[in-house]
Amino acid sequence: MIIDMPKTTTTAVDKRLVRLRDEGGAVALGRVLTLVVMADEGDVETVVQAANDASREHPCRVLVFASAGSVDDAPLLDAQIRVGGDAGASEVVVLRTSGPLQEQPDAVVMPLLLPDAPIVVWWPREAPQQPSEHPIGRMAQRRITDSVMSADPEAMIRSLGAHYATGDTDLAWARVTLWRGLLAAAVEQPPYEPVTRVVIEGERGHTSLDLLAGWLRARLHCPTTITHVPDATAITRVTLRRKSGDIVLDRPDGRVVTISQAGAPDRRVALPLRKLNEALIEELRRLDPDEVYEEALISGLPLVDAEAGAGEAA
């Protein structure tokens, strides 16, 4: 069910949600968090669909804040409530603002926050330079960005590293979870030799390469290189160099990875590209700080960049 409320107020929206629950039981109370999405107007349907899918594992109230006009326009709020089959296992409220309300997202969403429930904020495309200082970011326990979708992904992920605060995370990190599991398993096989160099190949601008490189650099303590391949899709190959022979994980088609290692038969493992809803579901599984992401972003990645800079200078 979709209910449009043009030229309204957040108080009226909240009262309507209460009435829906009292009259028809359409809105359940078992919510584990409030997910605030700072979306562009053109991305509203995409993020709502992803949030609906995520809500089936993490029941929540979804508040989508979208700017629909200029800051010079008159202050105006148009709301849309989605419940039942149009909202997955959540309740979705789309808030389209114009005028000065665009610069006061905290004041707009605050009356609709679930009491005593954690707040998670998600920027599906561009994000503030310092998410923890954004009006919604200051209220949130977790702040999710998606550097892959920004206009300059590589610059954005490094800016996030420079301004990192506990609770920050990025969907590019969730997209490499399966890669990290395969790499950890491969390194822990005989002959247990140290890795002397890592080479990661893939798509320019796909910041999962950068975060994976930062993680491997921090954990393996060896030079790590990122190589951008024309027409590649995400991560296509990771090579771990060892004295007895390389460990190579090759995924040229974005679906199946082949693991090659000296003295062992090749293995093939399904590793499809992760969809937006899958990455979001994973990030909502934890509300505590992600120390491993922090290590990859602010400890490992700067070392990768420094080594790349030294190589170019040489």
pLDDT confidence of residue 70: 72
pLDDT confidence of residue 191: 85
Report the chain (314 residues): mean pLDDT per 10 consecutive residues.
Answer: 93 91 61 93 94 91 88 86 76 92 92 93 97 96 97 97 97 97 92 94 97 98 96 96 95 95 92 96 93 98 94 68
pLDDT confidence of residue 206: 97
**48, 92 Cβ separation under 8 angstroms:** yes
Q: What is the secondary structure of the chain as a DSSP string?
A: -EEEE-S--HHHHHHHHHHHHHHH--S-S---EEEEEEE-GGGHHHHHHHHHHHHTTS-EEEEEEEE-S-TTSPPEEEEEEE-GGGSTTSEEEEEEEEGGGGG-HHHHHGGGSPTT--EEEE-SS---SSGGGSTTTTT-SEEEE-GGGSSSHHHHHHHHHHT--TTEEEHHHHTTHHHHHHHHHHHTSTT-PPP-EEEEEE-TT-THHHHHHHHHHHHH-S-EEEEE-TT--SEEEEEEE-TT--EEEE-TTSSEEEEEETTEEEEEEE-PPPPHHHHHHHHTT--S--HHHHHIIIIIHHHHHHHHHHHHH-
pLDDT confidence of residue 24: 62
Q: Render pLDDT for 239-257 as a digit per residue (tens, 0 to 9).
A: 999 999 999 999 999 999 9
pLDDT confidence of residue 262: 85
Q: Render pLDDT for 77-128 as a digit per residue (tens, 0 to 9).
A: 999 999 877 666 678 999 999 888 888 999 999 999 998 899 999 999 999 9
